[in-house]
């Protein structure tokens, strides 16, 4: 197993909460992490029809089988368990008692909010970060390979190539999660919607255009996008709210949680095709933003990342608060650093005034350095968590 940065976070939360919940996309390593973090706890998978039937028929009795707690996988499949868990952990008052995992935010997070508020330490586990892969000596040799391969654990734990794994992952996801959450009659149409989302990666979300291109209604497109978010396939990056005297765009931008999945949906079948692909810049942006999200989630923190764009097109790719100030980040896929890349951030800094820190530029080259008015980071520096 490649060591996970979130392991220490999970163990820390288990010392202060009676329940620890791990959520994230399917095949991101949640079960493996739970069993490594709590090797002595019994394991129950509600993906198993027999165990699911048992839990549904008599949730109280199921919990009674585990006097020292347990790991319960895909717990959202049995909503009845949550109410019993509340009383169970309140009575026992033991920290790290139960560990829950789930791959659908709809089922897991809504039940945590309703039944287990204040009793759960929550960790969002996404596919491998660059620092995790580098620590295991498995980081990509080039940026194009990193964009093509993505970071799902199966692509590093097994002898699998992206062109073999991603089609099966998408088919399984559509068959299992989409059928559970939506009454989709034409699954092929949903897969087209998924590919159209990939084609809009890194762009402002235009649901009307997306719906029209897929031949579905605006309402259906919104429902489907909500499901993609809830199952950790896509991520919407919110615009930053302070306007600094400017009229702002209020529409979020669309990204994929895993850049390799986005590349596969775009029809990219080998790393060499990345170099000249029209979507290379958008994929690199997806990759970098994904790394910042992973760094925060692995530490048990909310992402709280934004972009900034005014109504005439001035834009900062990534913006986050650090103390009382704001860190602007420009993301450029080019391999040769250009001082012109800092222009947009310097213009924004003039708007933001004292709230602004010197900008960063994360680029596709191999050198990191300081320059007048900012810092340039190679994509390789993401292995060292510059944020």
Q: What is the pLDDT of residues 77-88, one digit of tens each?
A: 888 888 889 888
Band (105; pLDDT cuts 50, 70, 90): low
Q: Range with the lowest mean pLDDT among 48-57, 182-191, 343-352, 363-372?
A: 182-191
DSSP assignment of 292-339, as one string?
HHHHHHHTT-----EEEEBTTS-EEEEEEEETTEEEEEEEE--SS--G
pLDDT at 245: 65
Instruction: Find, among 179, 275, 188, the residue nearest to 231 by Cα.
Output: 179
Task: Examine the pLDDT at 348 and tell me if it is beyond 80.
Answer: yes
Mean per-residue pLDDT of the chain? 91
- Render pLDDT for 172-207 as a digit per residue (tens, 0 to 9): 877 777 777 776 777 788 889 999 999 999 999 999
- The percentage of residues in the chain with a pLDDT greater than 70, rounded to a whole number, is 96
DSSP code, position 107: H
Query: Are 299 and 328 spatial neighbours (Cβ–Cβ below 8 Å)?
Result: no
Classify 233 as helix, strand or coil.
coil
Cα(320)–Cα(297) distance, integer angstroms = 14
Please give the average per-residue pLDDT across 134-150, as a whole number: 96
Tokens of residue 288, six digits: 């970098």
Are the C-beta atoms of 86 and 114 separated by less than 8 Å? no
- What is the Cα 27 distance to its own chain's centre? 12
Other Cβ atoms closer than 10 A to 333: 21
Q: Domains plus CATH for the chain? A: 6-124 (3.40.50.300)
221-273 per-position pLDDT tens digit: 998 999 899 889 999 999 998 767 677 888 999 999 999 999 999 999 999 99
């Amino acid at each position: 197993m490649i060591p996970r940065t979130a392991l220490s976070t999970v163990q820390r939360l288990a010392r202060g909460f009676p329940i620890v919940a791990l959520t994230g996309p399917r095949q991101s390593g949640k079960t493996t992490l739970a069993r490594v973090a709590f090797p002595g706890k019994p394991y129950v998978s509600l993906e198993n029809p027999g165990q699911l039937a048992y839990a549904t028929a008599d949730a109280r009795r199921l919990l009674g089988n585990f006097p020292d707690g347990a790991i319960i996988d895909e717990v959202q499949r049995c909503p009845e368990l949550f109410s019993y868990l509340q009383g169970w952990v309140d009575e026992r008052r033991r920290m790290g008692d139960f560990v829950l995992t789930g791959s659908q935010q709809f089922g897991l997070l809504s039940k945590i909010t309703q039944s287990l508020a204040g009793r759960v330490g929550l960790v969002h586990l996404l596919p491998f970060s660059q620092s995790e892969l580098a620590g295991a000596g498995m980081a990509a040799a080039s940026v194009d390979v990193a964009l093509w391969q993505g970071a799902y654990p199966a692509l590093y734990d097994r002898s699998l190539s992206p062109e073999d794994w991603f089609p099966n992952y998408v088919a399984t996801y559509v068959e299992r999660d989409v059928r559970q959450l939506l009454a989709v009659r034409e699954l092929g149409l949903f897969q087209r919607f998924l590919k159209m989302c990939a084609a809009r990666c890194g762009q402002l979300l235009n649901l009307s255009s997306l719906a029209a291109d897929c031949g579905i209604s605006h309402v259906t497109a919104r429902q489907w996008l909500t499901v993609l978010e809830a199952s950790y396939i896509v991520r919407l990056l919110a615009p930053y709210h302070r306007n600094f005297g400017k009229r702002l765009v209020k529409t979020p931008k669309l990204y994929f949680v895993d850049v390799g999945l986005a590349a596969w949906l775009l029809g990219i079948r080998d790393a060499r095709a990345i170099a000249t692909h029209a979507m290379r810049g958008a994929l690199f942006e997806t990759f970098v933003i994904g790394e910042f999200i992973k760094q925060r989630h692995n530490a048990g923190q909310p992402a709280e990342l934004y972009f900034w764009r005014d109504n005439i097109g001035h834009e900062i790719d990534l913006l986050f608060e650090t103390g009382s100030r704001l860190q602007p980040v420009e993301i450029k896929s080019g391999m040769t650093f250009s001082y012109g890349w800092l222009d947009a951030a310097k213009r924004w800094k003039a708007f933001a005034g004292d709230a602004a820190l010197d900008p960063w530029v994360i680029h596709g080259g191999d050198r990191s350095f300081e320059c007048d008015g900012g810092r340039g980071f190679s994509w390789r520096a993401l292995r060292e968590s510059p944020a």
